[in-house]
Amino acid sequence: LTYKRENDIISLEESQNVTLKALIQAQTDFDMARSAEVTAVAAAEEAARVFHETKQYGTIPEVATDTEVRKIRGDLALAEAELAELLKRYLDKHPKVIEKRGKIESLIEGLASSQKRIFDSIINKAELAKATALNLKGVLEIRKSEQQAMNQKSIQYFALEREAKQSETLYNLALQRLKETELQEKDIVQNMHVIDLATAQMSPIKPKKLLTLFLGIVGGLGAGFGLAFFVNFLDDSIKSQDDVETYLNLPFLGYIPNIKTTSIIERDLQAHLHPQSNSAESFRTVRAAIALSQRAGDLHLMAVTSTVPSEGKSLVASNHAIVMAQTGVKTLLVDFDLRRPSVHKAFQLQSPRGLSSYLLGKVDSIDAIVHQTEVPNLDVICCGAVPNNPSELSGSQRMRDFVEEVRTKYQKIVFDCPPVSAVSDPLIIAAATDGIIFVNKFNKIRREHARKTVQRIQDAGINIVGVCINDLDFEGKDSYYYSYYYYQNRYYASHYKSDKSDSEHGKEEEFDSKKTKKKAV
């Protein structure tokens, strides 16, 4: 086997000799190629002879019988017949006659090209057959030399095989003598006796069930806690006061709980319609945090914005304006979202004249666009018709005139601005205010995105009063982290229970009466 591997021998038997089979195949291929060469060369010589005599490719038999040539000739005959018919009716320069003659010329050129191509293919086929036969002749010579070398190797192989068989015979004889000697030694009596008998245990040694159960419980709890901390580590969204103060480096104003209703009226008027609710108490907490800030006395005009849409900035703006008005301060809420206004929906105000009318110069005073609401001390200016150029209007002179006029007529003004990442309007609008309230929806905005938004606001020289986290579900999926905050508010709910039904009944009657008056107007 070693000799076979060293000399690359697969088998020396005639039926399995690869080299011999390759030689036979090479001889067969050469014979076929030689026969094909003779046929192709004869055909090429015949075609050349006919062409030399007639100077026409069409007289060559292989060309004349070709299917494509016959088809072109048929088309040519048909075209010539059609030309003869046309000449009977028209003169030589008639368009149809000229067109038909052009077609006949094209067919004649195509026929000549096809005949030339077929003649060239006959010559090329003969050359290819010669090259193939020459190549296969070389392969045959190589196979013959390989077979001769294999014959020399087989002589040496058979000599080694005889020596191996002789060695195997000697080895078998020695092995047989060795086994006979071992059997003789086993017949000697062994000097072994039993010292002590083995006894069976009363209880199994393994498995240790209590230890296994304890380790399983500890391991499961450890893996669960580890997975929980790992998932929490991967979650880099803003969702707590620590995130606001650590990553955004801004004051924290408070949490706004999730308001479980789809009605925009119930949501944006929560502090007015349900003043004893946890949500209303959260808005009052935000109001108190702002009132206790360092520059509280200078915060007469504030804007409310967020990073992206649907974070609840209109909800915070409307309810913050309501809780400010509930303190007896004359308050104005302005819908500065000139692309997607929503304040008019919450307060059920429908008027084509609004803030856009003032900024476009269609009205001269804000008195024409101010709407009184059912909330005492609170007025509202809606967007009105949505303008085509909100960014230009936000930075216009009319905008500066508007800010100066509302400052003289109201003690507290709240602007509901668009999101910062969506458009450029909020930066222009907030630059004219005393500060902004930054709204961040719970577990929605990543820290880096929020940080870049805050940086963008601060680079514009705008004062950020603080951040409030909105849409926190204290009773549902978020209760694990913030249930203490929810139950802290619930603790004081009993203070309002005695007069809750009476106050809500009075609110509903007042709200219904004002709706009736609006419809009548």
Residue 189 lies in a domain: no
- DSSP E strands, 378-500: 378-381, 412-416, 435-441, 464-472
Question: For residues 183-205, b (16+ Cβ closer than 10 Å) or e, as one string?
Answer: eeeeeeeeeeeeeeeeeeeeeee
- Residue 436 CB-half CA count within 13 A: 31
pLDDT in the model for residue 156: 77
CA 473, 474, 477, 482 torsion: positive or negative? positive
pLDDT per residue as tens digits for the range 156-179: 777 777 888 888 888 888 888 888
Per-residue pLDDT at 84 exceeds 70? yes
352-372: average pLDDT? 89
Highest mean pLDDT range out of 2-11, 58-67, 118-127, 394-403? 394-403
Residue 209 lies in a domain: no
Per-residue pLDDT at 510 exceeds 70? no
Residue 234 lies in a domain: no
Spatial CA neighbour of 450 closest among 246, 230, 231 = 246
Per the DSSP assignment, residues forming a β-bridge with 331 are 378, 412
- Band (pLDDT 50/70/90 cuts) for residue 505 is very low
CATH number (domain holding residue 321): 3.40.50.300
Answer yes or no: do 121 and 247 share one domain.
no
pLDDT in the model for residue 316: 94
Answer yes or no: do 284 and 152 share one domain.
no
Answer yes or no: do 482 and 334 share one domain.
yes
15-26: average pLDDT? 69
pLDDT in the model for residue 330: 95
DSSP secondary structure code for residue 189 in this structure: P
Answer yes or no: do 274 and 402 share one domain.
yes
Answer yes or no: do 482 and 352 share one domain.
yes
Domain count, the chain: 2
Residue 182 lies in a domain: no
Q: Which of 146, 174, 202 is the last residue of a domain?
A: 174
Q: Looking at 286-295, 388-397, 432-441, 481-490, which range is the least confident one?
A: 481-490
The average confidence (pLDDT) of the chain is 79
Residue type, 468: C
- Band (pLDDT 50/70/90 cuts) for residue 453 is very high
Do residues 304 and 414 lie in contact, with contact meaning Cβ atoms separated by under 8 Å? yes
pLDDT in the model for residue 503: 45
Per-residue pLDDT at 500 exceeds 80? no
Task: Report CA 133 to chain centroid distance, whole Å.
Answer: 59
Answer yes or no: do 341 and 445 share one domain.
yes
Answer yes or no: do 328 and 468 share one domain.
yes
- Band (pLDDT 50/70/90 cuts) for residue 5 is low
Residue 457 lies in a domain: yes
pLDDT per residue as tens digits for the range 255-307: 999 888 888 899 999 999 999 888 899 999 999 999 998 888 889 999 999 99
pLDDT in the model for residue 438: 94
pLDDT in the model for residue 512: 46
Answer yes or no: do 161 and 279 share one domain.
no
Q: Which of 156, 174, 192 is the last residue of a domain?
A: 174
Percent of the chain, pLDDT > 70?
82
Residue type, 56: Q
Residue type, 42: A
pTM over 0.75: no
Per-residue pLDDT at 346 exceeds 80? yes
Per-residue pLDDT at 63 exceeds 70? no
Per-residue pLDDT at 4 exceeds 50? yes
Answer yes or no: do 162 and 270 share one domain.
no
- Residue 313 CB-half CA count within 13 A: 29
Answer yes or no: do 166 and 245 share one domain.
no
307-318: average pLDDT? 91
Spatial CA neighbour of 341 closest among 268, 421, 273, 262 = 268
* Omega cis (within 30) before 376: no
Structural domain boundaries enclosing 111? 2-174
Between 179 and 252, the higher pLDDT residue: 252
Q: Which of 174, 203, 218 is the last residue of a domain?
A: 174
Residue 56 lies in a domain: yes
Answer yes or no: do 16 and 136 share one domain.
yes
- Residue 20 CB-half CA count within 13 A: 12
- Rounded CA separation 394/391 (Å): 5
Q: Looking at 80-89, 189-198, 412-421, which range is the least confident one?
A: 189-198
pLDDT in the model for residue 477: 55
pLDDT in the model for residue 13: 52
Residue 392 lies in a domain: yes
Residue 257 lies in a domain: yes
Answer yes or no: do 253 and 136 share one domain.
no
